[in-house]
Amino acid sequence: MTSNWFKEMLLVSVQETNKVLKDSGLLLFFIIVPVLYPLLYAYLYNNENIREVPVVVVDECGSSLSREFLSKSDATPDIRIVAHCSDFEEAQEMIRNHMAYGIIYVPAEFSRELAYGRQATVNLYCDMSGLLYYKCIYSGCTHVSLEMNKEIKMSRMGGISQHEMNVNAMPVEYDYVTMYNPRSGFCTYLIPAILVLIIQQTLVLGITLLAGTEREERQKGINLVGEFDAHPLSVFGGKTICYVCFYTMVCVYSFWLLPKLFHLPQMWHPHDLIQLMIPMLLASIFFAMTISFFVRERESCFLLFMFMSVPLLFMSGISWPRSAMPGFWKAFSCLFPSTFGINGYVRMANMGATLHEVRRECIWLWAQAAFYASTTVLIYIRLYRSTHMPDFKYMSKAAIERFRKRIGR
């Protein structure tokens, strides 16, 4: 009996694999998209950071000190001075024409204030079309000002030893370390999350496409409940085996080969990663199978799920921190495997977290897998054993007769 059941399951999975291989739409989702999209994204963000943001300068002071400040700013990797303007209006005009993204304005009294021993101000204006411009201009100029402040303080104190001057200028020194992503790179930050998201989204799209096809065939009376009468549990098991096989390959590619190609961090332990990937894949597959029940046509999956990619990415908290998310959205995000998959994988790959440190995510993924597995099985039992199938009304009388005979009612 058990071997029979097992055979049936294997048959279903072979049949499913055949379906996937024959259908160009499915190959697109199961192979082409998971291979090409990450490549594209990694290529887009391959520079990791923006450097040399063009800025214009209005130097009304024109002293050696202001020139020192400006040339030091120009020397930072963040800023490139593209023009010196005679007045503010001219500088603004350059910003309007997108020749530069920021203005460094040194007021006329800059060096005089410094000479008097008062505080001098440098004004920065930043075009807010992108936050990275702001970050670059701000950090570039701040570094220069910190450095010059130290020198000015030291020169004013004079007379003491170099060591003492250092201590006086900065009694407590601060050291800033960016862990896990030392270049603060965009690629390192976003690509791992996108890899996980693509796996879930292509699974949802592919599986709903398959379900939509089956449903269309049922409507036409071609293929009622699968080509042979398999038990819903074996259908469930067989399909799962097929998808797991495909996505094991995809996982190897996305989590091992691609990061190698683009020199992304891979700090995971194979042993830990596998233990995270298993619940992630299962949860995504069962989630997709449950969702697929609600799709009526082959192609409507595009319309119904594509737009969710961006909200899902945000829900994971990779961009907007989860600590600042409203409770409602936090709870809502728990419905999707990607939320925990992304957080778990990112921490393992970028931060070298061990399984113990991502146990919360792991538990959630297993819980989701269990939940969606049970919903899927319930739906399959209903779908495969009930005469009140959703599309029953579309069937011809002969088809219904055949169907009735088959399920023995």
Partner 1 sequence: MRIKESRAYAITRRELTRMIRRPVYLLCMICAPLFCFVFFTTLMGNGLPEDLPAGVVDCDNSSISRMVIRNLDAFQQTDLRYHYASFAEAREAMQSGKIYGFYYIPKGLSHDTQRFEQAKVSFYTNATYLVPASLLYQDMTKMSEYASAGVSRETLLAKGYTMDQAMGFLQPIQIDMRAVHNPMLNYSIYLSNTLLPGVLALIIMLVTVFSVHTELKDGTAGEWLDMADDNIYLAVFGKILPQTLVFMLMSMVYLVWLYGINSYPLNSGIWPMILASFLLVLALQGFALFICSAVPSLRWSLSLCTLWGVLSFPISGLSFPVMGMPPAIQALSNLFPLRQYYLIYVDQALNGLPLHYSAAPYLALVSFIVLPLVDVWLLKRTARQYVYLY
Which residues within the stretch 82-111 sit at the binding site for partner 1 (CB under 8 A)? 96-97
Among 317, 337, 372, 395, which residue interacts with partner 1 (rule: CB under 8 A)?
A: 317
> Does 275 engage in binding with partner 1 (CB under 8 A)?
no
Distance CA 208, CA 296 (A): 9
- Binding to partner 1 by CB under 8 A, coded x per residue (else -) over 173-212, reads xxxxxxxxxx-x-x-xx-----------------------
Give the nearer residue to partner 1 in terms of CB position, either 1 or 128: 128
Among 126, 235, 250, 342, which residue interacts with partner 1 (rule: CB under 8 A)?
A: 126
> Does 213 engage in binding with partner 1 (CB under 8 A)?
yes
Distance CA 267, CA 264 (A): 9
> Does 113 engage in binding with partner 1 (CB under 8 A)?
yes
Q: Which of the ranges 3-11, 18-26, 240-248, 374-382 carries the binding residues for partner 1, by CB under 8 A?
A: 18-26
> Does 261 engage in binding with partner 1 (CB under 8 A)?
no
> Does 159 engage in binding with partner 1 (CB under 8 A)?
no
Minimum distance from CB of 38 to partner 1 (Å)?
Answer: 12
> Does 325 engage in binding with partner 1 (CB under 8 A)?
yes
- Binding to partner 1 by CB under 8 A, coded x per residue (else -) over 46-85, reads xx-xxx-x---------------x----------------
Is the CA virtual torsion 240, 245, 246, 247 positive or negative? positive
Residues 6+ apart with CB under 8 A from 374: none
Other CB atoms within 10 Å distance of the CB of residue 353: 23
Among 35, 82, 83, 148, which residue interacts with partner 1 (rule: CB under 8 A)?
A: 148
323, with CB counted inside 10 A (0-12, 13-18, 19+), is exposed
Distance CA 121, CA 167 (A): 24
Count how many residues are written for the chain: 409
Minimum distance from CB of 355 to partner 1 (Å)?
Answer: 11
226, with CB counted inside 10 A (0-12, 13-18, 19+), is middle
> Does 121 engage in binding with partner 1 (CB under 8 A)?
yes
> Does 291 engage in binding with partner 1 (CB under 8 A)?
no
Q: Which two tokens stand for residue 136?
A: 């670059």
The alpha carbon of residue 94 and the mean position of all alpha carbons in its chain are separated, in whole angstroms, by 35
Under rule CB under 8 A, which residues in 346-405 are in contact with partner 1?
346-347, 350-354, 357-358, 360
Distance CA 127, CA 108 (A): 23
